[in-house]
Chains A and B, each alone.
Chain A
Amino acid sequence: MAAELINPPPSVPPALALRMSQQAPRILQQSSGPSLPYLLSLLTASDAPETWIGYENLLLSCLRTGDDRSARMCLEKLTQRFGESNERVMALRGMYDEAVAEDYKALEAVFRGYEEILKQDPTNMPIRKRRVALLKAMNRPIDATTALVGLLDSSPTDAEAWAELADLYLTQNLYSQAIFSLEEVLLITPNAWNIHARMGEILYLSSLATNSNNDGNLMQGLCESMRRFCRSIELCDNYLRGYYGLKLTTSRLLSLPSKTSKPAPAATDPQFGDLAPPSLATIEKLHELATAKLAEIVRRNAAGESGWDGYEQAEVIAARELLDRDAQKVKR
């Protein structure tokens, strides 16, 4: 089985998913090969964990690309091996049912199935997560949030669930709750640079959305957002999202009118106060640094240099657009 099936990247781009699912017929045929008598096949069959992880990923990519028949076969293989009552297999089955559900009514039937399973065994975490995902897919974000909060109450060390909760809150514009959830994620995985950057993004959004008329608070929020981006860059060199956010926040900070009137070395309250905002010179330097680095990333990525081609195209385009916007401003 191909390496990308056994160990796929954390977020599979559509092209890769398509390529993976196109292998499905070949792999499924291979594995069902000439069948030996019962006991002999027991000896030859490979039971390595990789095989089954491969099937799981194959199932996921087949569902993504709409190859429901191959997905069905993968699911059957997994069920044969691990049994109907395996939690992971149950979740995969649920996912399959959701994917082939034709209309809202069918989805509701799947949902009732989940409720039934959870009534018997409330500790079944994969199914509880599927239930949340299904509620979200059925466009009931409030219910999804409630269900997720219930899940996190009994399992508060689940970083994935906290991150999902942050996203749910963000779609409902509840910024401080989203920030709280992301803080929980960071407490579990303190060095996750993407979460630091995400935190910076939400802080930026929230300070723009809530404090547009209060410059002091706005600056406080922007400073923290900027520092989050700094931390994410500190943890991961050449992190595009980090530099993008850094440039965005610093240019915003530089354009604040109150910046000049109030240098604000407000005494940092040792107990509850937040950090004092950095000096103007530091912000300017950071802005220059971010601009230079973004330009470098965009240039090298466009030239296709080896080691610089891992960026997502959409992000590179956004960075280029940000740089262009800045250049136009200078011309004017």
Chain B
Amino acid sequence: MAQPVVQTIHRDPALFYWILLPITVVMVLTGILRHYAMILLQSAPKKQTLPQVRQQRSLMRAINLRNNFNVISASSFQNRKALMVQAFKDGAFLADPEARGKPRPNPMTDPAMMEGMMGMMKGNVAMMVPQTLIMGWINAFFSGFVIMKLPFPLTPQFKSMLQSGVGTRDLDVRWVSSLSWYFLTLFGLQPVYNFILGSNNAASQVTQQMAQMNQMPGMGPEQDPDKLFLSEAENLEVIEHYWILDGVEDRLLAKLT
């Protein structure tokens, strides 16, 4: 058998200058534009009110006490424990003592929650609109062009990915159509953005979606602060105290002599 015929297609070099290059440049520029658009659209995180700060930090204080109780003496610890457990049970540190014991309101009606949703919406819109536009642009002007040949062989499975928009069954997989080039740049430009904009950019849509995934758990219904306080009070109750200063002089002598 003869060797498989190497397909050669004579391409107009103008294809390179008028399709490949423009698509690449446009994609890079859109990424950069999107990065700055995201920065502009980002709303500053909403400031907590004083009672909220107090509630959160009082809880932190109790957690600190639970973790580091061994640095203070037994009597100091007992005093603090009694004080905090009592205050927690009374709900003295709650930001909103009125809402105690009531069921959580629907998160959809919570304005703070709505703001978070809006932020996400904005991000998604900033992603979707340019993508649709550019894809429409490419479909309208460049569809059906074979614009480049990859320098390495590929299996036929890649055909649908690399030759979308070109309906030729026998064409070698190494030929890339313009629409496919668009997709390749869409997903593969992250290193270029990192180089241009620094590593923490908002240009690429893939990373953007990942970041949103990570945010999701934080967006979920937050816990009832009253419950948190009560469980922390229980945690404090069960601590068995020991003092780090117990026998420190013997430890020191053993270490240094």
Task: Write the residues of chain A forming the contact surface with B, with a CB cutoff of 8 angstroms.
Answer: 121-123, 153-158, 180, 183, 186-188, 190, 196, 224, 226-228, 230-231, 233-234, 271-275, 278, 282, 285-286, 289, 293
Contact = CB atoms under 8 A, between A and B. Distances in A.
B7 interface: no
A286 B47 contact: no
A191 to B, nearest CB: 9
The dominant DSSP class at the A interface is helix
Given A122-B50, A187-B64, A190-B68, 17 more contacts: A123-B47, A154-B53, A156-B57, A187-B72, A188-B64, A188-B68, A190-B70, A190-B71, A230-B248, A230-B252, A234-B251, A234-B252, A271-B78, A275-B245, A278-B249, A286-B253, A289-B256
B102 interface: no
A224 B73 contact: yes
Contacts of A231: 244-245, 248
Given A154-B53, A187-B72, A289 B65 contact: no
Given A186-B68, A227-B245, A274 B253 contact: no
Contacts of B248: 227, 230-231, 234
A155 B54 contact: yes
6 contacts: A186-B72, A231-B245, A234-B252, A272-B75, A275-B246, A285-B257
A128 B244 CA distance: 35
Contact of B74 (A155, A234, A273): A273
B255 interface: yes
A156 B55 CA distance: 10
Contacts of A226: 249
Interface size class for chain B?
35 or more
B9 to A, nearest CB: 42
A194 B77 CA distance: 21
User: In the complex, which of the residues B48, B60, B61, B257 has the most CB atoms of chain A within 10 Å of its own CB atom?
Assistant: B61
A41 B251 CA distance: 61
A224 B68 CA distance: 18
Interface in B45-63: 47-51, 53-54, 57-58, 60-61
B50 to A, nearest CB: 5
Across chains A and B, which 6 residue pairs bring their CB atoms closest together, nearest first? A190-B68, A227-B245, A154-B54, A186-B71, A156-B61, A230-B248
Nearest to B69: A187
B140 to A, nearest CB: 33
Contact of B73 (A122, A157, A196, A274): A274
A282 B50 contact: no
Nearest to A285: B253
A285 B252 CA distance: 11
Interface string B20-54: 00000000000000000000000000011111011
B243 interface: yes
B48 A123 contact: yes
Given A122-B50, A227-B248, A274 B64 contact: no
Contacts of A274: 73-75
Interface string B223-257: 00000000000000000000111101111110111
B245 A286 contact: no
B64 to A, nearest CB: 5
B76 interface: yes
Nearest to A87: B47
B214 to A, nearest CB: 23
Contacts of A272: 74-75, 78
A97 to B, nearest CB: 24
Contacts of B68: 186-188, 190
A240 to B, nearest CB: 15
A230 to B, nearest CB: 4
B96 to A, nearest CB: 15
Contacts of B50: 122-123, 154
Nearest to B58: A156
User: In the complex, which of the residues B49, B70, B73, B257 has the most CB atoms of chain A within 10 Å of its own CB atom?
Assistant: B73
Contacts of B58: 156
Given A156-B58, A224-B73, A282 B48 contact: no
Given A154-B57, A156-B61, A157-B57, A227 B249 contact: yes
A44 B13 CA distance: 37
A187 B71 CA distance: 7
Contacts of A275: 243, 245-246
Contacts of A123: 47-50, 53
